[in-house]
């Protein structure tokens, strides 16, 4: 399949080159001005950085290669690695490590906040978490693969800026609901169609609380989502429980009306029928 495509493609290339004539050259412009005295030349740093593997612009999880070392996260445009204190910085020297039967290579890391750490290749990778602050990491690899006469070690040094991640503000605390009654509400509050459940209503009102018209209401959606059963009530402290049977999926809301020292109040309870 591939051989058949090569012949006509070669013919097409020859035809285009033959018809195009000479290719005009673009005159060279004036030489770029030299870097201002005392200002660091960022191109010196970024000339040694490539993205590997290639990533789309929207992908922020790539790994940069700096002088043969894989570094994650990538240094930003200023050459500084920016991370949060709950994130790790990783350095990997696998690409430049010697292969057997050569002598084993070693990755030596100084993260800038403690002693050196040395690991064989093997893993040839180390990662580290920082406290907030600014650090300089130095990575070196010994006994690396080289051409004849080349250096058998290599190193890099990078700045790391670490930020504390802002904690989300705590949600405002909602006071726990305190019922006026010893016992009130649906039991349980989630049921399935065909099952029975209880609606516990207050029978004895505590001191300082009086009933208020219409005393009690029960509203179900749909209307026949639950129906009462003619069975003896179940006693509860300060009240009793009536038995209902779930007939259709929906909800039922019970409301009790009363008055206390602060004035009129209502308490509601909801059951969900699935």
pLDDT of residue 197: 95
Q: How confident is the model at residue 4 (pLDDT cuts 50, 70, 90)?
A: very low
Separation of alpha carbons 118 and 134, rounded Å = 22
CA count, 13 A, side-chain hemisphere, 53: 0
Sign of the CA dihedral running 56, 61, 65, 66: positive
Please write the tens of the pLDDT for every residue from 120-148: 888 899 999 999 999 999 999 888 866 65
Q: Which two tokens stand for residue 189?
A: 């509050």
pLDDT at 109: 95
Domains in the chain, CATH or no CATH each: 45-163 (2.60.40.10), 185-273 (2.60.40)
User: From the centroid of its chain, how far is CA 46?
Assistant: 29
- Residue 67 is predicted with a pLDDT of 87
Query: DSSP label at 144?
Result: B
- The mean pLDDT of the chain is 79
How confident is the model at residue 123, as a pLDDT?
85
Which whole-number Å values give the CA distances from 3 to 6, 8, 13, 15, in the listed order? 5, 10, 16, 19
pLDDT per residue as tens digits for the range 149-159 = 567 788 999 99
Please give the pLDDT value at position 165: 85
Q: Are 80 and 159 in contact (CB under 8 A)?
A: yes
Q: How far apart are CA 157 and CA 256, in angstroms?
A: 72
Q: Which two tokens stand for residue 13?
A: 């290339």
CA 146 to chain centre: 41
Peptide bond into 80 cis (omega under 30): no
For residue 50, what pLDDT band results from cuts at 50, 70 and 90? Answer: very low
The answer on pLDDT for 42 being more than 80 is no
This prediction's pTM: 0.42
pLDDT, residue 54, reads 37
pLDDT level of residue 207 (50, 70, 90 thresholds): very high
């Amino acid at each position: 399949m591939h051989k058949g495509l090569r012949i006509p493609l070669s013919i097409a290339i020859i035809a285009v080159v033959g018809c195009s004539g000479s290719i005009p050259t673009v005159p060279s412009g004036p030489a770029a001005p030299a870097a201002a005295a005392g200002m660091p030349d960022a191109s010196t740093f970024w000339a040694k950085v490539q993205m590997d593997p290639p990533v789309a612009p929207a992908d922020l999880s790539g790994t940069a290669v700096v002088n043969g070392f894989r570094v994650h996260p990538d240094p930003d445009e200023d050459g500084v690695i920016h991370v949060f204190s709950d994130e790790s910085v990783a350095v990997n020297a696998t690409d430049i490590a010697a292969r057997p039967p050569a002598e084993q290579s070693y990755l030596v890391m100084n993260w800038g906040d403690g002693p050196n750490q040395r690991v064989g290749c093997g893993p040839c990778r180390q990662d580290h978490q920082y406290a907030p602050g600014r650090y300089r990491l130095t990575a070196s690899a010994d006994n690396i693969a080289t051409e004849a006469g080349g250096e058998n070690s290599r190193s890099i040094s990078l700045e790391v800026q670490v930020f504390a991640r802002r904690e989300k503000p705590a949600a405002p605390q909602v006071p726990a609901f305190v019922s006026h009654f010893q016992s009130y509400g649906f039991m349980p509050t989630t049921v399935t169609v065909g099952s029975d459940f209880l609606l516990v209503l207050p029978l004895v009102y505590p001191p300082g609380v009086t009933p208020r018209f219409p005393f009690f209401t029960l509203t179900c959606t749909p209307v026949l989502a639950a129906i009462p059963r003619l069975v003896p009530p179940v006693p509860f402290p300060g009240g009793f429980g009536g038995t209902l049977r779930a007939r259709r999926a929906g909800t039922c809301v019970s409301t009790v009306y009363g008055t206390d020292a602060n004035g009129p109040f209502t308490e509601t309870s909801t059951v969900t029928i699935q």
